Structures are given as structure tokens and as C-alpha cells.
């Protein structure tokens, strides 16, 4: 088992004085190494909140989060920053590439804080391999502004994987792409999930994307309901 959530709760102020909105209620689940799954649910159901808690970008009000058996809720901010950089890759709806850096430079950004110089050196060779694998070789020295939306999102996928994280979190990764490019990104994520044995969580409101994943969970009234189609 890679990750275990234990009774995760999260509420936000609703905007009305004194009122709170319970977004996540006692969520418990387990994720195995290499597993792929989707969180489905309408806008506002708490998908991003849950993903951000799993990625340690946000903290639950209560509950525990075990990563390889260690309770990462207890980590300091410094420990969390190192943990995220090495163990978790993030992809968002917007690619968030640095406009003044080339494709290759963007991919190497997560390697800048690495202290292990041998591992750091290996990342450069790995970046070139991955660039070839996703058909961006001729674009490697170009700026993101000269690429299409689908190409930029492929760069973001490689950047998220460059440090070989054990977990890849993708929040509506195809939300700004047309259907063909969207399904291309999902196929790429699933291919890399199998090849690298990186666990993959995709947040989406698309049933079509959900149907490509091994497991799908609906977020209903703050709770996760396993909703695998029988196909
Ligand atoms: P989803 O990703 O499923 O669209 P979110 O997790 O972004 O949903 O949001 C779930 C609910 O929590 C929404 O009602 C949203 O307004 C609220 N919410 C999310 N983040 C915050 C925040 N930082 N402050 C206040 N309310 C928030
Ligand atoms: Mg969201």
C-alpha cells in the first residue's frame, strides 16, 4: 500500500458569518503502488480539496494521511516541501510552464532543489528520453508560447514525472483541451502509470475519462463512493 487516508475531514467558512461548509466528511481510503483511479463529481463537490490534501498542499481539519506507513500530517513545512518534490508529481488544468524557459528547461525545474548529485545528473538523461517518448524532440529548445495546448500539457506531464515520484496527482488535466488532445493526455498518463508503476489519481467531471481508469470514486456529500462501471 502506498497511501492511506484515515477519517479526513475538511470544512470551509461558507461566506455567511458563523456558518461553515463541511466539504469532506470522514474520508478513508487506500491507494496501492501503481494503481490508477479517478475522483468524479460536479463542480464544488470537493475534488480539488481532497486532491490538495493528498498532495499535502492543504491540511485536513482532522484525520491522518499515511504515505508508505509514515503519518505525513506530522511533517514540518520543510519536511513536506522535500517530500512533495521527491514523491509527488502535480498536473493542473493550466500547464503553468515558465514562459521564458525552453521545454527542456521547464522539465528540469523540479530537479533544481535535488541534493543527490548523481540522481540529479541522471534526470537530464531521463528528461531527453521522456521528451522523445512523448514526441516533443524537435520542440525541446522552443519556448512554451510556440507550442499548442496539448503539447504544453505533455511537457507538464513529463515535468511532473522527472523526479520519478511514487504518486501523480492530476486535477482536471484536460480541462482546457479539445476532446482529441484530452484523450491523448489521458492515454499518455495511463501509459506512464503502467510503465513507471507510478500511482495516478485524476480529478475529472468527465465520465468518458473516468471510464478509462481502473477505479472511479464519486464524491457525494463529502464522502467517496466507489462507482466502478460494470464494463
Ligand atoms: P471541486 O474541485 O470539486 O470543484 P473544490 O474542492 O474546489 O471543489 O471546492 C469544494 C467546496 O469548498 C466549494 O464549495 C468551494 O467553494 C469550497 N472551497 C474550496 N476551497 C476553499 C477555500 N480556500 N476557502 C473557502 N472555501 C473553499
Ligand atoms: Mg476543482
User: What is the rounded CA–CA span in Å between residue 211 and residue 231?
Assistant: 9
pLDDT in tens, 77-126: 999 999 999 999 999 999 999 999 999 999 999 999 999 999 999 999 99
Beta carbon of 56 within 6 Å of any ligand 1 atom: no
Ligand 1 pocket test, candidate residues 43, 46, 219, most atoms within 8 A of CB: 46
Where does the pLDDT of residue 16 fall: very low under 50, low under 70, confident under 90, or very high at 90 and above? confident
- For ligand 1, the distance from its centroid to the CA atom of residue 101, given in whole angstroms, is 32
> Got the DSSP string for 46-111?
SHHHHHHHHTTSS--SEEEEEETTEEGGG--HHHHHHHHHHHEEEE-SS----TTS-HHHHHHGGG
- The CA angle 34-168-118, to the nearest 5 degrees, is 90
User: Cβ(44) to ligand 1 under 6 A?
Assistant: yes
Residues 6+ away with beta carbon under 8 Å from 53: 8, 10, 24, 59, 60, 65
CATH code: domain 3-98+165-228 is 3.40.50.300
Q: How far is the CA of 72 from the centre of ligand 2 (A)?
A: 23
Q: Where are the domains of the chain?
A: 3-98+165-228
pTM for the model: 0.95
Contact at 8 Å (CB) between 20 and 32? no
pLDDT tens digits for range 121-172: 999 999 999 999 999 999 999 999 999 999 999 999 999 999 999 999 999 9
Whole-number Å distance, alpha carbon 209 to ligand 1 midpoint, is 22
Amino acid at each position: 500500500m502506498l497511501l492511506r487516508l484515515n477519517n479526513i475531514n475538511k470544512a470551509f467558512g461558507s461566506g455567511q458569518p458563523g456558518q461553515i461548509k463541511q466539504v469532506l466528511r470522514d474520508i478513508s481510503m487506500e491507494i496501492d503502488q501503481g494503481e490508477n483511479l479517478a475522483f468524479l463529481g460536479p463542480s464544488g463537490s470537493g475534488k480539488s480539496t481532497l486532491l490538495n490534501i493528498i498532495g499535502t498542499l492543504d491540511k485536513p481539519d482532522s484525520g491522518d494521511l499515511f504515505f508508505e506507513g509514515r503519518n505525513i500530517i506530522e511533517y514540518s513545512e520543510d519536511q513536506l516541501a522535500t517530500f512533495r518534490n521527491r514523491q509527488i508529481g502535480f498536473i493542473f488544468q493550466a500547464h503553468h510552464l515558465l514562459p521564458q524557459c525552453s521545454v527542456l528547461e521547464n522539465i528540469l525545474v523540479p530537479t533544481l532543489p535535488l541534493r543527490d548529485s548523481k540522481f540529479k545528473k541522471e534526470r537530464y538523461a531521463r528528461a531527453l528520453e521522456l521528451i522523445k517518448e512523448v514526441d516533443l524532440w524537435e520542440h525541446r529548445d522552443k519556448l512554451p508560447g510556440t507550442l499548442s495546448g496539448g503539447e504544453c500539457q505533455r511537457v507538464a506531464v513529463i515535468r511532473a514525472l522527472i523526479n520519478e515520484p511514487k504518486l501523480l496527482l492530476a486535477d482536471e488535466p484536460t480541462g482546457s483541451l479539445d476532446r482529441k488532445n484530452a484523450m491523448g493526455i489521458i492515454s499518455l498518463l495511463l501509459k506512464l502509470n503502467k510503465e513507471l508503476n507510478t500511482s495516478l489519481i485524476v480529478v475529472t467531471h468527465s465520465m468518458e475519462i473516468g471510464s478509462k481508469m481502473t477505479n472511479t470514486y464519486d464524491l457525494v456529500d463529502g464522502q467517496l463512493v466507489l462507482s466502478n462501471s460494470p464494463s
